[in-house]
Amino acid sequence: MKALVVDDSMVMRKVLIGALSRLNIGDVDQAADGVEAVAMATQNQYNLILMDWNMPNKLGIDALKEIRAQGQTVPVIMVTTEAEKMRVVEALKAGATNYVVKPFEPKVIVSKISAALGQTAEEECAV
């Protein structure tokens, strides 16, 4: 199980890596912007991508669109402060698997990750 965490905040990347570790996902790459995210997604096979929206160089929504344009179907969860319904709809139309608004409770992100990976509630509770 390999994941990519994309956020310009190192603190938020650490929070998301902590959530992934609760699900025994320890093979995690990090990117600080959308440009890095697209490059890494092109070069590696990921089981999951956690993507911020607002980042320098390339927005997460634009990175998501590029990743989808390459034909990649990897689950992508947008993890962002963008809470407007319009933004959520835009992300889902662009191919996001799910959407989490910051700040969030750790159990919320763990649950969304589990759902994106197709894990059952029993597996999640075992963590």
Neighbouring residues of 73: CB distance < 8 A, sequence distance ≥ 6:
none
pTM of the predicted model, to two decimals?
0.92
In this structure, CATH architecture of domain 2-125: 3-Layer(aba) Sandwich (3.40)
Number of helices (H), then strands (E), in the chain: 6, 5
**Span 6-44, pLDDT tens digits:** 999 999 999 999 999 999 999 999 999 999 999 999 999
The domain segmentation of the chain, as residue ranges, is: 2-125
pLDDT in tens, 49-59: 999 999 999 99
Q: pLDDT class for 119, splitting at 50, 70, 90?
A: low
Tell me how far apart the alpha carbons of residues 125 and 30 are, in angstroms, rounded to a whole number.
Answer: 26
